[in-house]
Amino acid sequence: MNANILILYAGGTIGMWEDPATGTLIPLDLKDLNKYLPEIQGLNVSYEGISLKTPIDSAELTPSVWTELVEIIEANYSLFDGFVILHGTDTMAYTASALSFMIQGLNKPIILTGSQLPLGRLRTDGRENFITAIEIASTRKNNEPLVQEVAICFGERLMRGNRSWKANTEIFDAFDSPNYGNLATIGTHIIFNEQLLFRSKKTLKFSKEMTEGVGVLKLYPGILPSSIAYALARPNMKVCIIESFGAGNVPRNEEFLNVFKEAIDRGVSIINISQCRRGSVDERLYKTGKAFAEIGAIFGHDLTFEAAITKSMFLLAQGFSGENFRLALLENIAGELSEN
């Protein structure tokens, strides 16, 4: 029995066809993909295509797009074996992370892909990414989908969505998963690392709300406590993600720490993640990190920046605050955290 795949076009380069004769970019007609990608016929899959009401440039992404995607997937979940989302590359990791929190209890694949060059160009990477994403979404083992999570298929790799980030603007292998292994290696064959695939123990649940009261502050040598205080005083600030040095280190002087403590006492959750893309923050390693933890900062371990932002938005929308927010942030919801 052929797998039935729903293809969602959210926007981005991969959804645009460049007419070789005129050079004009025109949107793909998802009802006639065989015209653009005749190779799909060799995959033995059935498919349908849906576009967002208003496909967006990747840089124009807002949480409302995530809500629209969740609504479409929920309405069609029982009708399809898997989902492929065509998305702009710049914010693809944010969408992949957000969907992993907004749709819990998945037992089907949601595969995001995109391209660096439009379809129709002679050297486009979109063709291989698109075809491979469909093949992965349709792969089954023991009469169930092999992949049962939100993932990004790009270049030579399949990566967990909430572990990924866009690492390069020029090469075709543009995404990286710095703190978690590839779910599959893509070459002449697709080789799955099945021991790394996520299996949720939760009941299927679709959430459509995200709260945007999340700020970001990147530390640098010489940053003034007054500048930090100004940033933390922003109206409606509920969470602030601090990109700290190395393994979670911050200046240990009293004035600096007091600025954060005052914000925490006001009810602002402070999440500490590293400026380094690889590795983890750990309050146990250095006195500077320990002092930050002692005033109530939450150490986000090896969360990616994209996962920290979207998970915070999700948890705020679920009504978490204070100690309950801390506990929920440190719960491994969809494979976004490594075991400590």
Q: Considering only CA atoms, which of 303, 266, 265 is closest in space to residue 282?
A: 303
The helix/strand/coil state of 270 is strand
Per-domain residue ranges for the chain?
3-206, 214-329
Q: Quick one: pLDDT at residue 294?
A: 87
Phi, psi for 227 (deg, rounded to 5):
-65, -40
Do the domains at 3-206 and 214-329 have one common CATH topology? yes
The helix/strand/coil state of 154 is strand
- Bridge partners of 111, per DSSP, are 84, 151
Q: Quick one: pLDDT at residue 20?
A: 66
* Ramachandran assignment for 205, one of left (phi > 0), alpha (psi -120 to 50 degrees), beta (any other): beta
Residues 6+ apart with CB under 8 A from 160: 100, 149, 150, 151, 152, 177, 180, 183, 196, 198, 335, 336
Pairing mode, if any, of strands 16-18 and 25-27? Answer: antiparallel
Q: Hey, which CATH number is domain 3-206, 3.40.309.10, 3.40.50.1170, 3.90.25.10, 3.40.50.80?
A: 3.40.50.1170
Q: Quick one: pLDDT at residue 267?
A: 92
The residue ranges of DSSP E strands in the chain, in sequence order, are 3-9, 16-18, 25-27, 45-51, 82-86, 103-104, 110-113, 140-141, 144-145, 150-154, 157-160, 165-166, 175-176, 184-186, 190-192, 205-206, 214-218, 239-244, 269-274, 298-299
Q: How far apart are the first and last CA of the chain?
A: 42
Q: What angle do CA 313, 319, 324 make, to 5 degrees?
A: 95
Q: Quick one: pLDDT at residue 168?
A: 81
Longest dimension (CA), the chain: 66
Q: Which helix (H) or strand (E) element contains residue 132?
A: helix 126-138
Mean pLDDT by 10 residues, the chain (340 residues): 89 74 72 72 83 85 95 97 94 97 97 84 81 94 96 95 89 86 95 97 96 92 90 90 89 87 93 91 74 89 96 96 94 90
Cα separation, 14 vs 54, whole angstroms: 16
Q: Quick one: pLDDT at residue 236?
A: 87
Cα separation, 176 vs 84, whole angstroms: 19
The catalytic position among 13, 95, 113, 132 is 13
Q: Quick one: pLDDT at residue 32?
A: 66
CATH T-level assignment (fold) for domain 214-329: Rossmann fold (3.40.50)
Tell me which residue has tokens 């992993």.
100
How far CA 241 is from CA of 113, 115, 308, 322, in Å, comes to: 27, 30, 8, 15
147's tokens? 């992949």
211 part of the active site: no
What is the DSSP code string of 292-308?
HHHTTPEE-TT--HHHH
Cα separation, 123 vs 116, whole angstroms: 10
Q: Quick one: pLDDT at residue 19?
A: 67
Q: Quick one: pLDDT at residue 56?
A: 81
167's tokens? 């690492």
Other CB atoms closer than 10 Å to residue 120's CB: what's the count? 19
Q: Quick one: pLDDT at residue 110?
A: 98
Contact 7, 30 (CB under 8 A): yes
DSSP structural state of residue 38 = G
